[in-house]
Amino acid sequence: MRVSGLAQQRTDSSDYVRGQQLNAMLRFTPVMMVANVVNAAVSAHIVSTKAGALAVLVWLSLVVLAAGFAIRSWIDAQRRPGRGAASPRAIRRATWHGAGLGLLWGALPALWFAELTGGGQLLVATLVTGMICCGAFALATVPSAANGYVVCLTAGGLAGVLGADLEHAIPLVVLLLAYSVAVCYAAVGTARLYVDKVTSEAELTERGEVIQLLLSEFQQNASDWLFELDAEQRFQDVSPRLAEIVGLSEDDLLKRPFADWLSAASKRSFAATCEAGVAFKGLLVEVVLDDGTRRWWSISASPIVQRGRRASGWRCVGSDVSDAKTAKDRVIWLATTDALTGLPNRTTFRDAAASALSPTALAVAVLDLDGFKGVNDSLGHAAGDQLLVAVARRLKTFESASIGVGRLGGDEFGLFFESMGQSEVVSTLRAIGSAIAQPFALDAASVVIGTTAGVAFRTDLQENVDRLLNEADTALYAAKHGSKGSVAVFDAAMDQAQQERREFAEDLRRALAANELWLAFQPVVDIATSRVVYFEALLRWTHPTKGLVPPDRFIAVAETTGLIAEIGKWVLKTATRIAATWPDDIGVAVNLSPVQLGDERLDEMVFGALAKSGLDAHRLELELTEAVFIRHGERARSFIEKMNAVGVRIALDDFGTGFSSLGYLTRLPVHKLKIDRSFVSGQTALKERNAVISAVISMARALSMETTAEGIENEAELAWIRGLGCNQGQGYYFAKPLRAEDVQPFLDRRSRRRARKARISEPLAC
């Protein structure tokens, strides 16, 4: 199909060229035919004196008939539309006509040249030469007709010269042949140039039509539009598409200044760009239409320059890019702004603080929300997000030319203070804390939170924003571990303490690999039978230079640094492996950190430890604190259900010291409540401690749970706890934490002691 299409295209093009050749030849027909008749009449008059009148009359009549036929063809062509195409047959017919006319004129010298005298011969020779030139010129656009005409006329002339008795016949023949060849060559060259011209014009016309078609299609259907402006930036020509977009007619747009629609900033940028006088592309301008609609247009334009002068106007292409710009602005906003609160994010806040950093005073503060996690865990993340938005709203009221605010992440916010002294900065932070301490009305409830802040001041020109942020973080850490709700100003001592904490964390990381961690085991005794029912595994760390490190110190570091997961896994594996060597009726209790429960792999760790050690699942007891249920409610439920499914027991440790809730006790299958030592041997009055322990034991009994009292240190406390109905006891009264190798000797001693008591208590034989 494609080959035949190309062939058809080439055929149509050739027909068009032939048609234009014939049209060009016909333009000279009237003049040339009149000249032929006049020349023929003059020639007939000259030769009639030497030739027969009849023969001359016949020749003249034939010339007149040929001229009449040609003029009639010209008249027919004028009556119908201009010839658009012609077949090869039409060219052949024109060639035969040209050759026939050449034969008629060639007959004149061939028949009568020899009979004429010198004057008549000169006249005929001049006539023949002129007819060769004029005829070839008139027929030049059709080279076959021109050449046929010249060849036939030249042949007649040669016959006449050779038939006459002339002294210089041979030179005349040579000259006539040379002249004829030159004329034919010129006719062919002229025809070739004409064909090239016609072809080029046809191609240009076709391209122009295609361009016009595309332009029309573009203006009607494309999302872009065309328009022209004059030197004063008034509309000179507009496309229907532009008129449709702005809601005006094309006539209303003409002569109207384009700048009337531009915002002030865009008006300046457009004028400056046009002032340069060079083409531009993709200039973004904000347009305010007559109805108040604001849009963004992208303008590309090239100047209209005439004769080397300055731009006399502009040819422009416009397109509406409002949607694309809105999307781009949204991406930029998301990259620079905290999506929840609308405050600058950490990166943008840092850049703004860096821009404000100057020889003048600069302070950077990090503010943390006290109690936010409890709100997030108890009321849900939606309430937490509401709270963050409300806090951000209150923080924005403190923004000014010298105070910047941003969200650093989580419940931490950043502030920077420019050109403010220390007392003013601290006073402002306290005012912010007071504002945020006011109750927040959320959808779920009304909540009250506090703030703790750390602030660092620029003390030398070498200090940068990153260093100030780190120092503010250090001050915040010191404040939260000192007095929550305060504002701490960074000093060198804090930096030293932070460095020591980092070193301590590195020591702890190394301790696990260096086997510096070990487990101690404290027995838990059945109060009714005095039998050891299990041992609680207690983590210990012997530092190579600092000695025994208290657990309450390094456990917190392990949780904040993420080491608790690896350490917890080691504790589970080690405790179950050691417990597997004990008697089958004695289990082991392992404490789990709330941070550990956030690890989805904790289930696999427990199952893996049991499988590798061979310890029965019912001999393992996992102790959780109440914080687990607050932080990981659904996760805690899922974990406990999986443990119960295989027989692992769950105990709630330090019960009564946190946010105790009967709700989760009734929903979650917990087996045991461990009464904190502060209720057994604390400083609170005995009456109050007695009431608390009695209530806990009664509640546990009602829920079919066991109870274990921690911190029993003497016989009196044991008797008191036994009287209240507690099931199990733990404390120094029974034993201090033991090393693994001391557990079995301890069990053996208690076994022998119980055996002696049993023998003493036996009745004497009668």
| Main-chain dihedrals φ then ψ at residue 230, nearest 5 degrees | -90, -170
Residue 62: pLDDT above 80? yes
- Give the confidence band of 689 by pLDDT, cuts at 50, 70, 90: confident
6: pLDDT strictly greater than 70:
no
**Structure confidence by residue, pLDDT tens digits, 83-100:** 566 777 877 887 888 778
Q: What is the pLDDT of residue 12?
A: 54
Query: Does the pLDDT at position 766 exceed 50?
Result: no
- What average pLDDT does the chain have? 81
Q: Which pLDDT score is estimated for 107?
A: 77
Contact in structure between 426 and 489 (CB atoms under 8 Å): yes
Task: For 580-645, give the DSSP string.
Answer: TTS-TT-EEEEE--HHHHT-TTHHHHHHHHHHHHT--GGGEEEEE-HHHHHH-HHHHHHHHHHHHH
Find the mean pLDDT for residues 455-475.
80
Residue with tokens 């301590």: 504
Q: What is the pLDDT of residue 7?
A: 39
270: pLDDT strictly greater than 80: yes
* Per-residue pLDDT at 594: 80
| The pLDDT of residue 744 is above 90 | yes
Q: Which of 204, 203, 207, 201 is nearest to 24 (CA)?
A: 201
> What pLDDT is attached to residue 5?
39
The whole-number pLDDT of residue 463 equals 64
For residue 639, pLDDT over 70 is answered with yes
pLDDT at 765: 42
- State mean pLDDT over 162-172: 75
pLDDT of residue 700: 86
More confident residue, 473 or 188: 473
pLDDT at 512 over 50: yes
Summarize the confidence of residues 414-419 as an average pLDDT: 90
DSSP 321: -
Asked if the model's pLDDT at residue 467 lies above 80, the reply is yes
pLDDT, position 758: 67
CA nearest to 531, candidates 694, 757, 762: 757
Among 57-71, 112-126, 399-413, the range with the most confident prediction by mean pLDDT is 399-413
> Please, which residues bridge with residue 299 across strands?
283, 318
Mean pLDDT lowest among 241-250, 306-315, 436-445, 749-758: 306-315
Model pLDDT, residue 3: 36
Q: What is the pLDDT of residues 702-730, one digit of tens each?
A: 888 899 999 899 999 999 999 999 999 99
What average pLDDT does range 236-251 have in this prediction? 80
Higher-confidence position of 516 and 88: 516
pLDDT at position 10: 41
Residue 608 predicted with pLDDT over 80: yes
Judged by phi (left if over 0) then psi (alpha if -120 to 50, else beta), residue 292 lies in left
pLDDT at 627: 67
Model pLDDT, residue 213: 47
Give yes or no for residue 680 having a pLDDT over 70: yes
